[in-house]
């Protein structure tokens, strides 16, 4: 494997740990917990892992443990810091007993089912410390849902002498981890399952999880790119840049980037839904800002768009919900062509939703009616929302120009920032946070816990003051409809419109819309003043009033 100069330099960086994890620990248990919704149903589905207490680690007395082995799985999309979770887990299990081994399952949960694995050695681990990506063992999107998969998994876990399995993933992956933990507990197989919160989208968080790892780095990476575009925009002064950002189910990335860069417009999906805005309402909002700047002679600007905004427009959300039900019907599974599927959809949805469906641009309507992702969701990242909105804004401005309401020129450029941020070299924050999550997971294993997620809190404070522990995954769950059936899933965290980050944005956006008040964050800095290179996201600072 070729190693860059940056990677060589970063390999020497020693991630910081909370004080409680810097030596032996003792687990302090809180009160019994319950799920965030559907308590009776979730308790019935998870009788062996429901109601467990929140765990907090404090310094404790040394305890000798016999050797044991641990398995690790990277699941779902990449996020900066994944390698540091693995290195933290590696160092943590080795500190408990040097004879312990860590095995990585190749290309995600499928590696467990297919018995595809490798031992992570010290020499291998040292090549990946403080690096981006998931390439040490690869990731995958196989869902662990079936008994046959669980039984195939236990075969290789027993063969390798694995006591515990750590699954690094987002809400769906950690839901699968919880299902697996419950199954192994019910069967008394003696294998623990621990989750780690990963997703750059930022929607895996709650009172116990301050932020999912990778969000900090991804937002800094996107903000650098947005800042570069804004500087170009303010230099040429002839284009409106429509920038779509990752965030299918929530607008955390778009909001954080807006807080960092101060664009002229940032759409927040949750606000669009709360205000029951139509697609035309969204277009009018953008067009009015464009017209107001044009009146001042500024025919340029930036618009940030969360990729999932289409799903938050109430009329379209209602349409998508019915489309999901229709496409889950048994007869829909026999359709072989796109045209047949479109005809099938049109003949099976309500008159109200058919009217909305026909009002959409043909390419958008087709995308909504065709293939779903493995979780049964519309593949909104394939819908070029940035081009759709700029096209509709251009049409509206053309009408306004005839009446004299608009007097400018409207040139556009389009961008979608997604993969650019998923494997970036982790920021100091993510390097420390992820290493702590992995190290902390080793302590949950040592204390015999299963069905828990590794959590690190108080992360706006210096790392030594961070709080380490674990939270039962069932505590975060409720029932939602997936592929036409009600299933237990971790509730996604949306942007809170009464939260400090959105309130700060809302208080400043009118000024940002009118003025060219751009911020150019520049690249992620690893060396320099700590107030620059170790700062947390604006979101966390505002949420914790720091």
* 241 part of a folded domain: yes
Rounded-to-integer distance, Cα 35 and Cα 17, Å:
30
Residue 139 in tokens:
């990731």
287-291, 313-317, 330-334: range with highest mean pLDDT: 287-291
**Are 282 and 139 part of one and the same domain?**
no
**Radius of gyration for the alpha carbons in the chain, expressed in angstroms and rounded:** 24
Nearest to 160 by CA among 104, 109, 110, 108: 104
- Give 532's contacts (C-beta < 8 A, 6+ positions apart): 525
Residues 222-227 have a mean pLDDT of 97
Report which of 311, 350, 38 is spatially closest to residue 358, judged by C-alpha positions.
Answer: 350
What's residue 285's pLDDT?
A: 98
161 and 74, same structural domain?
yes
Report the pLDDT value the prediction gives residue 375, as an integer from 0 to 100. Answer: 62
pLDDT exceeds cutoff 90 at 365 = no
Q: Is the pLDDT of residue 381 over 80?
A: no
pLDDT for 133: 95
- The pLDDT assigned to 118 comes to 98
Question: pLDDT tens for residues 156-179?
Answer: 999 999 999 999 999 999 999 999
The angle, 0 to 180 degrees and rounded to 10, between the axes of the packed helices 338-348 and 362-369 is 90
- Structural domain boundaries, residue 460: 65-214+426-482
Q: Are residues 516 and 373 in the same domain?
A: yes
Q: Which of 12-21, 224-233, 368-377, 391-400 has the lowest mean pLDDT?
A: 368-377
| Residue of 217, 210, 174 lying closest to 82 (CA atoms) | 217
Q: Is residue 59 assigned to a domain?
A: no
Helix (H) / strand (E) containing 368 = helix 362-369
Mean pLDDT of 5-28: 92
Residues 396 and 435 in one domain: no
Which pLDDT score is estimated for 534?
80
- Indicate whether 280 belongs to any domain: yes
Give domain status of residue 252, yes or no. yes
Percent of the chain with pLDDT over 70: 97
**Residue 382 pLDDT level (bands cut at 50, 70, 90):** confident
Crossing angle between the packed helical segments 362-369 and 351-359, to the nearest 10 degrees: 130
CA separation, residue 501 to residues 257, 354, 516 (Å): 11, 37, 21
Percent of the chain with pLDDT over 90: 83
Q: Is residue 470 packed enough to be buried (19+ CB in 10 Å), middle (13-18) or exposed (0-12)?
A: buried
| CATH number for the domain that contains residue 210 | 3.40.50.450
Within a domain: 44: no
Pair 307, 325 in one domain: yes
Per-residue pLDDT of 73-126, as tens digits, reads: 999 999 999 999 999 999 999 999 999 999 999 999 999 999 999 999 999 999
Query: Any residues with CB less than 8 A from the CB of 91 and at least 6 apart, and which?
Result: 435, 438, 439
Task: Give the CATH number for residue 303.
Answer: 3.40.50.460
Q: Domain check: are 366 and 271 in the same one? A: yes
Give the DSSP H/E element, type plus range, for residue 26. Answer: strand 25-29
Euclidean distance between CA atoms 113 and 378, whole angstroms: 27
Assigned domain for 329 exists = yes
Residues 347 and 449 in one domain: no
Residues 447 and 305 in one domain: no
Q: How far apart are CA 167 and CA 184, in angstroms?
A: 14
Residues 416 and 430 occupy one common structural domain: no
Task: Please tell me the predicted confidence (pLDDT) of residue 483.
Answer: 74
* Res. 350: pLDDT tops 80: yes
Instruction: Assess if residue 34 is contained within a domain.
Output: no
> In this structure, are residues 150 and 184 in contact, taking their beta carbons and an 8 Å threshold?
yes
Q: Within a 13 Å sphere around the CA of 437, how many CA atoms are in the beta-carbon half? A: 34
pLDDT, tens digit (0-9, with 9 covering 90-100), for 483-517: 778 999 999 999 999 999 999 999 999 999 999 99
Strand duo 301-306 + 240-245: pairing: parallel
Give yes or no: residues 385 and 512 share one domain: yes
Task: Verify that 383 and 521 share a domain, yes or no.
Answer: yes
Residues annotated as part of the active site: 201
Residue 529 clears pLDDT 70, i.e. is over it:
no
Domain membership of residue 21 (yes or no) is no
Q: What is the pLDDT of residues 446-496, one digit of tens each?
A: 999 999 999 999 999 999 999 999 999 999 999 998 877 899 999 999 999
Please indicate, yes or no, whether the overall pTM of this predicted structure exceeds 0.85.
yes
Which tens digit of pLDDT belongs to each residue from 292-323?
A: 999 999 999 999 999 999 989 999 999 988 98
How many Cα atoms are found within 13 Å in the side-chain-facing hemisphere of 250? 20
Phi/psi for 415 (5° steps) reads -145, 150
More confident residue, 53 or 358: 53
Residue-level pLDDT at 116:
98
Nearest to 413 by CA among 243, 236, 237: 243
CA separation for the pair 223, 217 (Å, rounded): 10
The answer, yes or no, to whether residue 526 has pLDDT greater than 80, is: no
Mean pLDDT across the chain: 94
Instruction: Mark which of 457, 482, 507 sits at the end of a domain.
Output: 482
Q: Answer yes or no: do 472 and 458 share one domain.
A: yes
Looking at the structure of the chain, the number of domains it has is 2
Residue with tokens 């004080």: 19
User: Please, which residues bridge with residue 197 across strands?
Assistant: 169
């Amino acid at each position: 494997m070729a190693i860059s100069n940056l990677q060589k330099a970063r390999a020497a960086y020693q991630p910081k740990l909370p004080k409680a994890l810097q030596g032996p620990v003792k687990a302090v248990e809180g009160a019994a917990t319950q799920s965030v919704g559907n308590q009776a149903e979730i308790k019935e589905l998870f009788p062996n892992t429901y109601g467990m207490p929140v765990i907090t680690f404090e310094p404790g007395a040394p305890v000798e443990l016999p050797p044991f082995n641990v398995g690790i799985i990277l699941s779902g999309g990449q996020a900066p810091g994944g390698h540091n979770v693995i290195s933290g887990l590696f160092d943590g299990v080795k500190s408990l007993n040097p004879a312990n081994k860590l095995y990585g399952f190749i290309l995600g949960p499928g590696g467990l089912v297919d018995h595809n694995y490798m031992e992570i050695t010290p020499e291998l681990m040292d090549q990946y410390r403080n690096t981006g990506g998931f390439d040490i063992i690869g990731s995958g999107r196989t869902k662990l849902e079936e008994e046959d998969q669980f039984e195939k998994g236990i075969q290789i876990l027993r063969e390798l002498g694995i006591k515990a399995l750590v699954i690094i993933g987002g809400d769906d992956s950690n839901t699968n981890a919880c299902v697996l933990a419950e199954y192994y507990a019910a069967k008394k197989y003696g294998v623990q399952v621990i989750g780690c919160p990963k997703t750059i989208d930022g929607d895996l968080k709650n009172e116990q999880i301050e932020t999912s790892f990778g969000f900090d780095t991804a937002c800094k990476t996107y903000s650098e790119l947005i800042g570069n575009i804004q500087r170009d925009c303010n230099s040429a002064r002839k284009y409106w840049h429509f920038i779509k950002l990752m965030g299918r189910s929530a607008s955390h990335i778009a909001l954080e980037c807006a807080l960092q860069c101060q664009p002229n417009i940032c759409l927040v999906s949750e606000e669009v839904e709360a205000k029951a805005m139509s697609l035309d309402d969204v277009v009018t909002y953008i067009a009015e800002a464009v017209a107001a700047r044009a009146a001042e002679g500024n025919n340029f600007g930036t618009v940030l768009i969360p990729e999932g905004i289409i799903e938050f427009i109430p009329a379209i959300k209602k349409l998508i919900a019915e489309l999901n039900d229709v496409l889950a019907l048994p007869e829909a599974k026999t359709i072989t062509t796109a045209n047949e599927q479109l005809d099938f959809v049109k003949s099976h949805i309500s008159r109200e939703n058919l009217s909305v469906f026909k009002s959409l641009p043909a390419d958008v309507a087709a995308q909504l009616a065709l293939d779903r992702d493995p979780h049964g969701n519309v593949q909104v990242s394939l819908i070029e929302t940035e081009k759709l909105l700029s096209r509709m804004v251009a049409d509206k401005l053309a009408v306004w120009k005839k009446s004299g309401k608009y007097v400018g020129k409207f040139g556009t450029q389009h961008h979608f920032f997604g993969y650019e941020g998923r494997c970036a070299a982790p920021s100091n924050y993510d390097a420390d946070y992820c290493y702590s999550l992995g190290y902390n997971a080793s302590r949950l294993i040592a204390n015999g816990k299963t069905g828990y997620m590794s959590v690190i809190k108080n992360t706006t404070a210096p790392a030594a003051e961070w709080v380490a522990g674990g939270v039962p995954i069932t505590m975060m769950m409720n029932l939602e409809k997936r592929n036409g059936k009600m299933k237990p899933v971790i509730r996604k965290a949306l942007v809170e419109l009464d939260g400090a980050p959105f309130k700060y944005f809302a208080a400043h956006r009118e000024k940002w819309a009118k003025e060219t008040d751009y911020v150019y964050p520049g690249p992620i800095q690893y060396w320099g003043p700590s107030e620059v290179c170790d700062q947390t996201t604006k979101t966390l600072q505002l949420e914790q009033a720091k």
